[in-house]
Chain A
Amino acid sequence: MIEIKNVSKWYGQFQVLTECTTQVAKGEVIVVCGPSGSGKSTLIKCVNALEPFQQGDVVVDGISLSDPKTDLPKLRSRVGMVFQNFELFPHMSITENLTIAQVKVLGRSSDEARDVGLKLLDRVGLTAQAAKFPGQLSGGQQQRVAIARALSMNPICMLFDEPTSALDPEMVNEVLDVMVQLAKEGMTMMCVTHEMGFARKVASRVIFMDHGRIVEDDSKEAFFGSPRSERAQLFLSKILQH
C-alpha cells in the first residue's frame, strides 16, 4: 500500500532524511518512534507529499509521488492524515469541518456529506458537538473530530503524526481507543507515536528513527524483545519508564 524507497531529503545543507526505506502492507499498522528531531514528522509527511523530497520515491497504492504527472491533491484526498495539533479549521463548525472536503473535493452533495459526517461523529462519540466550533471542544474531542474528518474521505490508509502528544494525559485514551478500533477494522495505518501500549496492542511492526535514518524496522515482537541498536534500547528504556 505504501512503499518508501530510499528517500532522502535536505533543508538547505541540513539532511533531515537519509535513505529511508520501508513499506506498509494493506491492513498493516506500523508505529514509528524515535527521539524528537529525528525526522519522524518529515518522513510521514513525505508519504502524502506534504513535504517534497529530493531523492528516492514514495509509492502509494501503486502511484509514484515523484512522477510529475501524479495529481497530488487527488492522491492526498485518498490518504487520511491526523496531526499533533489537530488542525481543525477554527472558522468552521464541527459539521462544516466534516463536510467541506467531501463536497469540494469528492463532489458529494451536502446532504450526503452531512450524513457521512454525522455518522462518523457518532462513531467517535461526539454527536452532541456537531454545531459547535473547534475552540469550544477539549483537545481530546478535537482530535477525535480530526480523525472523523480524515475518515469522511474514505481513505485507503491513515497517517498519524503524534496524535496524542499535545493532549492532557486524561484525554490520551479516548483518542487511542478510536485508533485501536480503527486498526482492528483493518485500516492500513502509519502512526508516529510514543504510546508503546498502543504499539503492543495493534502494531505489526515498529520503526525506530534516529538522525534521519531508519535504524530499526522490526516486527513488534522482535522490537520489544531486543532492539538491536543501543540508541533504540536507550530510547525504549526511557519511554517505558513512564
Chain B
Amino acid sequence: MLSDFDFSVLTDSLPFLWAGLQFTIQLTLVAMTGGIIFGTLLALARLSSMKPLAMAAAAYVNTMRSIPLVMVILWFFLLLPLLTGKPMGAESSAMMTFMAFEAAYYSEIMRAGIQSVPRGQVHAGQAMGFTYSQSMRFVVLPQAFRNMLPILLTQTIVLFQDTSLVYAIGSKDLLKASEIAGKNYNRPIEMYIFVALIYFIICFSLSQLVKRLQQRIAIIR
C-alpha cells in the first residue's frame, strides 16, 4: 500500500504550504502578543479592589473559557462585520478572535503569576514611592512574567495548534493550504501526513525549549 503513496506532490506544493505556515505563525504571534497584553489587563482587573471591574473581567474570562473555540471563531466571523459596519476578511477576523479568546487563558496564568510575587516586594516598591501602576510595571509584572514564562509558552504551543481551527471560516492557514493542495493534486493523505509532521516538529521543539527554560529558571531561584 505504501507504494501507492506519491510524495512528489509535496515538493510541488511546498511554496503554497509555506504561505499557509507563514499565516499560521503570524496568527500565533499576533494572538500571543495581543492575548498576553489583554490578558494581563484582565488579570489586573480581576485582582482590582473595584468590585464591578473585577466581576466584569471574571465574567469575560469564564464565558470565553466555557465556549468551544470553533463557535467563538464562527460567531466573531459573523458578528464583527455587523458590529463594525465594515466587511472583515477571514484573516483579520481570525486574529481578533484569537486575541480575545486566548486573553482569557493568558489572564488566568498572569493572575497566578501576579499572586506569586511576595507581598514584601509590593511593599518594597510602595515604600520607594511607586504609585500602583509604577509598582505593577517595574516590580510585580516583570517578576510575574518571568515566573510564568514556561506556562505562557506552553499555552502558546496549544494556541499554535488551535489556530488550525480557523479552517472553519476558510482562512488560509497551514491546514487549509494542505487541504487545498491535497485536493488539487488529488493526494490528500500524503498532504495530511506531511502537515501533521510539520505541526509535530514545531510543537515538539518548542516544548523541549520550555523544558530547558524551566530548568534555567529553577537554577536562578
Residues of A with Cβ closer than 8 Å to B?
Answer: 45, 48, 50, 73-74, 76-81, 83, 85, 87-91, 100-101, 104-106, 135, 149-150, 153
Instruction: Name B's A-contacting residues (CB within 8 A).
Output: 120-121, 123-131, 134, 138-139, 142-143, 146, 220
- Closest CB in chain B relative to A151 CB, distance in Å: 12
- Contact across chains for B220 and A79 when beta carbons are under 8 A apart: no
The smallest beta-carbon distance between B138 and chain A, in angstroms, is 6
User: Contact between A135 and B126 (Cβ–Cβ < 8 Å)?
Assistant: no
Interface centre among A74, A100, A106 (most CB of B within 10 A): A100
Q: Do B129 and A87 have beta carbons less than 8 Å apart?
A: no
Q: Which residues of A contact B126 (CB under 8 A)?
A: 50, 73, 76
A166 to chain B, nearest CB (A): 11
Q: How far is the CA of A222 from the CA of B186 in the complex (A)?
A: 99
Q: Besides the contacts A48-B127, A73-B131, A87-B123, what 20 more A-B pairs have beta carbons closer than 8 Å?
A: A73-B134, A74-B129, A76-B127, A76-B129, A81-B123, A83-B123, A83-B124, A87-B120, A88-B124, A89-B138, A90-B143, A101-B130, A104-B134, A104-B138, A105-B128, A105-B130, A105-B134, A149-B128, A150-B127, A153-B129
Which A residues touch B127, using CB under 8 A?
A: 48, 50, 76, 79-81, 150
A87 to chain B: which residues have CB within 8 Å?
Answer: 120-121, 123-124
Cα of A101 to Cα of B130 in the assembled complex, Å: 7
CA distance A73 to B134 in the complex (A): 10
In the complex, are the beta carbons of B123 and A50 less than 8 A apart? yes
Of the candidates B130, B142, B146, the one whose C-beta lies within 8 Å of that of A104 is: B130
Known: A73-B130, A101-B128, A135-B220. A89 touches B139 (CB 8 A): yes
Residues in B whose Cβ lies below 8 Å from that of A153 = 128-129
Q: Is the interface of B mostly helix, strand, loop or mixed?
A: helix
In angstroms, how far is the closest chain B Cβ from the Cβ of A79?
Answer: 7
Question: Residue B129 contacts which of A88, A90, A101, A135 (CB distance < 8 angstroms)?
Answer: A101
How many angstroms from the CA of A48 to the CA of B138 in the assembled complex? 20
Choose among B121, B123, B131, B220 the residue that contacts A89 (Cβ–Cβ < 8 A).
Answer: B121
State in angstroms the CA–CA spacing of A90 and B144 once bound together.
12
Q: Is the CB of B124 within 8 A of A77?
A: no
5 closest cross-chain pairs (CB), A and B: A77-B129, A87-B124, A101-B128, A81-B127, A105-B129
Contact across chains for A91 and B142 when beta carbons are under 8 A apart: yes
Can you give 18 A-B contacts (C-beta < 8 A)? A73-B131, A76-B128, A78-B129, A83-B123, A83-B124, A87-B120, A87-B124, A88-B124, A89-B124, A89-B138, A89-B139, A91-B143, A91-B146, A101-B128, A104-B138, A106-B129, A149-B128, A150-B127
Shortest CB-to-CB span from B117 to chain A, Å, is: 10
CB-CB nearest in chain A for B121: A87
User: Bound state CA distance, A50 and B123, in angstroms?
Assistant: 7
CB contacts (< 8 Å) of A79 on chain B: these are: 127
Closest to B146 in A: A91
Complexed CA–CA distance, A149 and B125 (Å): 11
A74 to B120, CA, bound (A): 19
A195 smallest CB distance to B (angstroms): 21
CA distance A50 to B120 in the complex (A): 10
**Shortest distance from the beta carbon of A70 to any chain B beta carbon, whole Å:** 13
| Nearest-CB residue, chain A, relative to B120 | A87
Cβ distance B169 to chain A, nearest Cβ, rounded Å: 41
